[in-house]
C-alpha cells in the first residue's frame, strides 16, 4: 500500500443568524453581478474588437467598479469572493477554449446556485469555529464528520441552494492511503432496468428515485403553475418543488456513492463504457429514465475514487459492440433490438443474457486495451 496527497472537499450544513443570512445574501448578489458584468465585457471585447480580455484586466475592472459612484455597494462584502468569481470565469473560458465545456453563460438569480468562495485570508478556522470576513460571529456549523486532524483549509465555499439550505465546503490537502491490491476484475454495463450489470453476473437494481417521487413532484408543480407570478404564495410553491427535487437528488447521490465505493473496494481493475449520455438523452422515450439513472455521475465517482485508492479504470470506446458480440466465441450478430434481452449465438449456440454478456465483453475489451495500451473500436466490417 502507498499513499498520495489529494485535494478533497468536506461539505457541512450550517444555520446562519438573520444578520449573517442578510450579509451572505448581499455577498451572493455582488458575486453574481461581478461575474455577469465581467462576462459581458469579455463577450463585447471579443465580438466587437476581436480582442481577448485577460483575467488581470477584469481584476482592474473590479477595482474601477468599486470606485464608481453607481456601484459603491460592491465594496460592502469581502473582496475575496469577488476576486474568486473572476477566477471562476477565467476557468470557464479556459475550459471552453480547450473544448471541455460550452461557452460561459450568465448567472440568473433563482436559477443558479448562490455561492461565494473565501480564500485563506478571508476566513479563519480555529478550534472548530469558522468565521467569515465582515462577520462578527462564528457560523453555526453541524459537524456531521470531523475534518482530518491537522487539516488546514485553503479555501471555503459558502452556498445556498434552491431549498434555502446553507452549506459550507472546505477544500483541504489530505494524504489518502491506497487500498490493498485485490484480484477482482469487473466489467460494468450501464442500463435502465438494472442500474449496472457486472461481468460477475450480478445486477444492481435501479432505484428510480425520480419515479418514486413523481406523483409528489407533479402535485407540487401543478400548485406552482396556479400561483400568480411574483406573489408570496408562488415563492412558497416554488420552495415545495425544490424540496422534492432536492430529496430525489440527495437519495440518488447517496446510492451512487455507496455503489461506486463498493465497486472500487472489491476490484483492482474496472472496465466501463465511454457513453455519450448527452446524445442518448435526445431519445425522448428514454431521456427521463436515463437522466434519473445518472450514469455520468456514477462514472465520475468511480473515476476519481479509482485515482485515489490505486485502482485501474479503463474506458471502452462507445462504439464497441459489446451487446452484439458473443462472449464465448467472439462472433457478432448483425441486429439486436433493445427489446431482445436474451439471445442465442448463431455460431456456437451459447445463450446469453444481453446485459451480462455485454459486461463480460467490456471486461475482456478493457483487459485487452490495458495490455496493448490502445483503445477498443469495432471492426470496420
The per-residue pLDDT for range 65-80, each reduced to its tens digit, is: 999 999 999 999 999 9
Which residue among the candidates 114, 189, 210, 292 is catalytic per the annotation? 189
* pLDDT at residue 114 greater than cutoff 60: yes
Close Cβ partners of 12 (under 8 Å, ≥ 6 residues apart) = 141, 142, 143, 144, 167, 168, 169, 170
Is 374 an active-site residue? no
CB contact at 8 A, 8 and 172? yes
pLDDT band at 373 (very low <50, low <70, confident <90, very high): low
Q: Quote the percentage of the chain above a pLDDT of 70.
A: 97
* pLDDT tens digits for range 323-348: 888 988 888 888 888 888 888 988 88
Strand 185-190, strand 269-273: pairing: parallel
Cα separation, 171 vs 155, in Å, equals: 6
Q: Quote the percentage of the chain above a pLDDT of 90.
A: 64
Average pLDDT over residues 227-237: 93
pTM of the prediction?
A: 0.85
Q: Which of 252, 234, 232 is nearest to 242 (CA)?
A: 234
Which residue among the candidates 273, 292, 312, 339 is catalytic per the annotation? 273
> At 136, is the secondary structure helix, strand, or coil?
coil
Which residue among the candidates 114, 210, 292, 355 is catalytic per the annotation? 355
Is 210 an active-site residue? no
Is 353 an active-site residue? no
Q: What per-residue confidence (pLDDT) applies to 252?
A: 93
> At 75, is the secondary structure helix, strand, or coil?
helix
CB contact at 8 A, 175 and 152? no
For the purposes of burial, counting CB atoms within 10 Å of the CB of 208, is it exposed (0-12), middle (13-18) or buried (19 or more)? middle
Q: How many CB atoms lie within 10 A of CB 264?
A: 23
Cα separation, 29 vs 80, in Å, equals: 14
Amino acid at each position: 500500500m502507498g499513499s498520495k496527497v489529494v485535494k478533497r472537499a468536506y461539505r457541512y450544513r450550517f444555520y446562519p443568524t438573520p444578520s449573517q443570512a442578510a450579509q451572505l445574501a448581499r455577498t451572493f448578489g455582488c458575486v453574481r453581478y461581478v461575474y455577469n458584468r465581467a462576462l459581458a465585457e469579455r463577450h463585447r471585447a471579443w465580438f466587437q474588437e476581436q480582442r481577448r480580455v485577460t483575467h488581470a484586466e477584469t481584476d482592474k475592472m473590479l477595482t474601477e467598479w468599486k470606485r464608481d459612484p453607481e456601484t459603491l455597494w460592491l465594496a460592502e462584502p469581502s473582496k475575496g469572493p469577488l476576486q474568486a468569481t473572476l477566477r471562476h470565469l477565467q476557468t470557464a473560458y479556459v475550459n471552453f477554449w480547450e473544448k471541455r465545456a460550452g461557452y460561459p453563460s450568465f448567472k440568473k438569480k433563482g436559477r443558479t446556485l448562490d455561492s461565494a468562495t473565501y480564500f485563506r485570508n478571508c476566513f479563519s478556522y480555529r478550534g472548530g469555529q469558522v468565521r467569515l470576513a465582515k462577520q462578527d460571529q462564528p457560523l453555526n456549523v453541524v459537524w456531521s464528520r470531523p475534518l482530518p486532524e491537522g487539516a488546514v483549509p485553503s479555501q471555503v465555499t459558502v452556498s445556498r441552494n434552491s431549498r434555502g439550505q446553507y452549506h459550507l465546503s472546505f477544500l483541504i490537502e489530505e494524504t489518502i492511503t491506497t487500498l490493498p491490491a485485490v484480484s477482482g476484475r469487473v466489467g460494468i454495463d450501464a442500463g435502465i432496468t438494472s442500474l449496472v450489470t457486472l461481468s460477475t453476473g450480478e445486477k444492481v437494481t435501479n432505484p428510480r428515485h425520480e419515479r418514486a417521487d413523481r406523483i409528489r413532484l407533479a402535485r407540487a408543480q401543478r400548485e406552482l403553475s396556479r400561483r400568480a407570478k411574483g406573489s408570496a404564495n408562488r415563492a412558497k410553491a416554488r420552495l415545495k418543488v425544490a424540496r422534492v427535487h432536492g430529496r430525489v437528488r440527495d437519495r440518488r447521490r447517496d446510492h451512487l456513492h455507496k455503489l461506486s465505493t463498493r465497486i472500487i473496494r472489491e476490484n483492482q481493475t474496472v472496465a466501463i463504457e465511454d457513453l455519450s449520455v448527452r446524445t442518448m438523452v435526445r431519445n425522448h422515450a428514454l431521456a427521463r429514465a436515463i437522466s434519473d439513472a445518472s450514469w455520468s455521475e456514477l462514472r465520475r465517482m468511480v473515476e476519481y475514487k479509482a485515482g485515489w485508492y490505486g485502482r485501474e479504470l479503463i474506458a471502452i470506446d462507445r462504439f464497441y459492440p459489446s451487446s452484439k458480440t458473443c462472449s464465448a466465441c467472439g462472433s457478432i450478430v448483425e441486429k439486436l433490438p433493445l427489446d431482445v434481452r436474451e439471445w442465442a449465438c448463431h455460431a456456437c449456440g451459447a445463450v446469453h443474457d444481453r446485459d451480462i454478456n455485454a459486461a463480460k465483453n467490456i471486461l475482456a475489451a478493457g483487459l485487452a486495451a490495458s495490455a496493448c495500451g490502445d483503445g477498443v473500436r469495432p471492426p470496420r466490417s
